[in-house]
Structures are given as structure tokens and as C-alpha cells.
Structure 1
């Protein structure tokens, strides 16, 4: 019997402590059936299965590795596949493999929330780019669940750890994996919550392009990765989290490809530069906001255009309030992008844009570039 997502559930305490070979293979095939390329994990561990002796002793690139070309599992997520025949061959070779999912290739972004008992970092490392004054008490803030809840509260959004509308997986160590789908063509970068270079929140890792995540129901020596009640499928990545990920440098250097075949208009792209968004983070955020509007052109109905336009205007208003953008220029570039997506609806779009800008301007968007 399989659960809603196709993962074999555990039926006993004993089952939860051991990796059933049949269940492990069924989990791998269930992931592959959903278009999630999988890789084998070392039995009882959460790390990829070891490379062959040749690859262990060579510094060659995974892109040129003959092992991957011949269907072997060397180089971790680089060898991930959704080919059911190859997966069966791998698990026939080692039935006790665990299951990993290559996040980027699967179009997934997973928040990996830790609950480690470690000392608090410096205040600027709790929510990178968001100043936390010395007058703010940090009593009770202990781990990633708290730092992510704090970020959500500051943005007046729901805590992702409590999001029953998406797939959530409890880890054996007491942490949580919150799974989301990314938009087609969108590329997000991995990070660790303790990184001084790129991080979303303390003790909150981001698993995306260039990384993998342990599949639900996989068992390691520490226990089972258990699916929690709620949705058994990943929901689309929330818009406010997209904004935070862009703000903290998680978006790939290349902007998302436009799956619609209608890129953001040339004049609108020029306006991004002319509007005064001179800092890199602000420019990326504005460009991403315009892209979400422009993408609606290919879907005349059912694209949630009004919601996306309002969200883009709200985000842009935050840039205006923080001094990154002139208000008139912001309204102009949003109107041009909306006219590209919904020709002839400027009056209605203008009303949505003004309301979104007004709301966003009440909440300045502080970027990591703003730090002294």
C-alpha cells in the first residue's frame, strides 16, 4: 500500500528503524515517476553512494565522467536519473540504498530547517540583510524553526514550517524539510544557514540547484524521514519567499528563462536601469518582478495575473520606500510590463499597481547591500 504521493508508509516501530529494500526501490521509482531524478544514498546514511575506485582517485569533472555516461552512480546528484530501468539496476546492485532527489533537476526548492543546539550567532547573521537592534531581546530564540518564524512574522506571512499545503518531512534529528516547486526555467542556488556569504536565515539551509535532498520515508541510522500530515505534494514556491531568496542572493546570475516566448519588453528592461535601481540586489528584484508579469502574456486566463501584478507592485513599493527607486519611474515600468501582458487593460492595471505600490511603500525592503 502506498500513501498519496506513492511512498510506502511505515507500519511499525521496527519498520521505521530499518530500510526495507523493497520500500526503498518503490520510493525511488515513485520519485522518478514524478519527474524527480534520484540518486542512491549509502546504506543507512544521508550521503551519496561512494564513487567507483577510478573516480575516487581522479579529479575529473562529472560532465566528462564515463561512469555517468555508462549509467553508473558516480558523482552524487550529477548522476541522478528518472530512468526506471537504470534505477532498478542500481537497486539490484545494492538493495539497501537510500534515496536522494536532485533538487535543481527536479524543479524543487527545499527549506531544510535545523534544530541544532548551538550558540546564537551575531545578530546580523540571524536574518542576513535585516538589522536586529541591540534593544531587541533574543531570549527564546534557539534554532532554525525560530529564525524562519521570525522572518515570516516580519513579512506578515505564514510560517513555512506550519504550511500544511505543501509536502513537509520530519527529519530524524528533529528538523524539517519543506518542499516547494519552482517556476519553469527558474534557477535557485543552494545555501547553508550558517554561511557568511549567502543565507536565508540562521539554521535554515536552502536545497536547490547543485544539491540534493533525502527522499521521504528514507531510513538512515538515525531514523526515518517521515511525511507529516497535510499535502503530500510540493506546492508552488510562495511569492514572498521568492522575494526573500532574491534579496539574499539565491537567484542564479542568469535571469529565469521566459517559457512564454515573450521576454520582458525592451523598453521595460531599459527602464529598470533608468529608474534608479542602481544596486545589484534591487535590480535583480525589480527584474524578477517584471518577469512574473510578462510571463502572463502567454496565458490570457487562469494565470492569476491580478495577484501577480499586485505582488510585483508591492515588492516594487518596498524598493521605492527604501530609496532604491523613484516612485514615478516604478509606476511607469510596472504599467509598461502590464500593458505587454494584458494589452488594452491599462485602467484596471493602473488601479492594481497604485494600490500595490502604496501598500509596499509602507514596508521598506531592506537589502543586504544596505548594510553599512
Structure 2
């Protein structure tokens, strides 16, 4: 009898062990196998969120098939207390194991909203975008001018979220005054700016910032990046350039930046001005005259007057010899490179060609013909 009881017990034990093994294998498959998500979604983890809350949210969104298995797997992997707050993109079919990795590895948010504070030459804009997880593309939610418009409610709401990604982008050719005025109006920055940085010393590029970042510290970073770019370009400059210092090269780069927005033209525009300096010719470039009128504080918004072309200022290159006394804007990396490695040409003149670019000439006679063609184009446009 006892032998029969023991035999039945052992049989039951084997069945239980097999069942446990099968259950464990099923749980492992559920945790590591493809998940139920039919299309990518954004998952937001709030600061200080508990694993239990996050797992229930994941189950409700259809990201995981079982909140319990998700918690058990995360705990077994030693990541139950390693959640990082933010908004994360979860791809379709992601396994629970993959989801745990995404939510605990940290790093910048890969989903949700992004606020881009664009400081442009003609306008400053705040652009709020949100990632569409299905297409992987950003959808614009709001766009406004912070210098003249109230902050929309939806932007204020996003600014209250700790995982909002924020960047400040400087367009090539903005002036230091424009940058400072724009940063003063940025609702996500703090601190005062005591003085406007020297013209040309801020690097036009994109800067990742956090809410509450100090304005002066951000300006210092912009100056540091521009200094590094200029130093590297100066070290790799062409031989025989008519500059006595990196600062003079920066002045030339700012002129090149304001004269053309076409990347392929920068080196050739730089060559025209370098050739003029070498021959002792006046640079005669309108953007320098405009800077003498505005001092970089805003956009002129009209054509130059003859009186302004004749008026002597430290920047009017129709009147003064050589380079103006300071840069006339903040040039980008490409304009700096062009100023220090100009094209090898004999060009001395250029004028607009009607397509957004310029036509170049080596002689005054050729240039006058090009100017006549440009005036014909202007007349035709005014007549239409």
C-alpha cells in the first residue's frame, strides 16, 4: 500500500514539475517573444512612477499581454527599480524584455514632443512638434513668434512636462543683438544677460537645453563653439590670405554669410572679396552698409538710400578701405571655411542672376553687362 502511495506521489510530483517547467517556458516565451503591439506607440514614464503603474498602463495600451508577467520579468532581470522618466518610442511587436530595456536604459526621450526655438534673421519662431509613432515623422502642433505673440495654451501645457525636449537653433547670419533679444523672450530659460556678445562670436547651430537653463551660460557655450570652429579653420587656412588674424577672417566670413545663402557659392564669393583686398580695391558690399545703418539691431526692411551708400561709417565698404571694423553677423561653419579657403578664381565682381544665385565676372565691362541683364529681370518682375 505504501509503495502504491509513494508511486502515486512521485507520479504527481513529476506531473507538477513538468507543469511548472511548461509554465516557466510559457512565461519566458511571453516575456521574450514578440509582443501584441500592432503598431508603434509612444509610452510616457512620469517622474517617480512605480513599476506597477507603468505595467498597468502598458497593458492598457496593448504594449504587453500581461502586466504581471512584465513585472515579474523586470524584477527577475534586476530592473524593477530602474525606470527612467521620459517619452519613449516602442516599436510594433516589441517583446516585454525589449520594452523593459527601453524604459530602463535611460538616455534622451525618443518620442513625445519637441520644442524648437528658432532664432532667424527675419523672425524668431517657437515650433512645437510631436512625433507620430506610426510614421516616425514629426507633426507640427504650434508655431508662433515669442517676441510679439502670447504663448499658446498648448505650448504652456507642454512646457510643464519634464520630458519635453527643447533646443535653441540659431540661423546663419543672425546678429548677436538678435540672439540676445530672442533668448530674453525664451519662456524656458532663466537668468539675465548683462551685455551683448561681440558680433560674429556666436556659432549658428542647434543647442540642446533643459528648462531653466541659464541664458548667460548658453551664450557662453555658443561663444566657445564659435571660437573652436574659427581656431580649427584658421589652422587649416590657405596660404597667402590677406588676413592678419583670425578675427579678420571672421569679419570676411560674416560678409560672405550675408552675401549668399547658396552653399556652392560661398567659396567663390569669398574669392571675389579676397581678390579685391589683394588689389587694394574697396569691397563695396551692401550688407556692410546696412549694418552701419542698423548696427545689427533688426532688419532694415527697405532698400539702401544713396545718402546711406555715401555716408561714412566703420562698416561702409563703399567708403572705407579694406575690411569693416567688426563682423556684421554671426557666420556659420561653412562661411568661415570659405573665407579661409576661397576658390581659386580671378573674379572681382558678382551680381544677382534672377534665380537666387549670382553671376560672376573678372572684368568691369563683363560685370556691367551682367548688371544690365539683372535690371531687365527686375523690370520684368515689376511689370508682372
User: Normalized against structure 2, the TM-score is what?
Assistant: 0.28
Asked which structure has the greater RCO (Cα within 8 Å, sep 6+), the reply is 1
Which has more radius of gyration? Answer: 2
**Structure with the larger strand share:** 2
